[in-house]
Structure 1
Amino acid sequence: MRCEWCGEQGAKEVSSTVYWELPDGSRAIEIKETPGVKCDLCGMEYQAENTIQSLEDQLLLIDTLKIGSSTTFKILMKQPRLLKRNYFRYD
């Protein structure tokens, strides 16, 4: 897998803990077991753009008051949505 930061081969898929600010800016939450990428060559660890988009859309479309300060990626993505999709995304 090619690293998006340094462009070299050698990146691998990992599961990591990330901290994400809620769309309303009221607080940040811990999201465990989040899919990510880690490059042993440059040391960068990051989330792919599609994972970031999925997280941001989900947090925008669910009742965030029902989420505690910590959750897992799978549990977060299974939360019922108030809307079917993000109607503000035009792509």
Structure 2
Amino acid sequence: MDCVWCEEKGAFETTTTVYWELPDGSRSIEITETPCIQCPSCGMNYQTEETIEEIENHFMMIDTKKLEKSLTFVEFLAVPTWLKKNYFNF
């Protein structure tokens, strides 16, 4: 896999811990075991656009006031939604 940052070969899929600010800006939460791409050439650790969109869309469909300070990616996506889809994503 090619790294989107340095364009070198050798990047691979793994997981990492990310910190995400809530949409209302009130605080951030830790999301562990989040899918990412890691590049041994440049050292970057980044999420794909699909993963970022999945996280952002889920934030818009849940009650963020009830979120724990830290949860896994799978636990985060399992938080029940209020909406069937993110109607704010144009």
TM-score bucket of the superposed structures, by smaller chain: over 0.9
For 2:50, the equivalent position in structure 1 comes to: 50
Q: Provide TM-score, normalisation by structure 1.
A: 0.95
Q: What residue identity is the alignment partner of 1:69?
A: K
Q: Provide TM-score, normalisation by structure 2.
A: 0.96
* Count of residues in correspondence between the two structures: 90
Query: Displacement, 1:87?
Result: 1.2
For 1:83, the equivalent position in structure 2 comes to: 83
Query: Does 2:65 match 1:65?
Result: yes
Q: What residue identity is the alignment partner of 1:83?
A: L
Q: Which runs of 4+ in 1 moved over 6 A?
A: none
Query: Displacement, 1:38?
Result: 0.4
Q: Structure 1: 5+ residue runs without aligned partners?
A: none
Aligned to 1:54, the other structure's residue is in SS state helix
Q: Structure 2: 5+ residue runs without aligned partners?
A: none
Identity of aligned residues (%): 53
Q: How does 1:6-45 map to 2 (within 5 A)?
A: 6-45=6-45
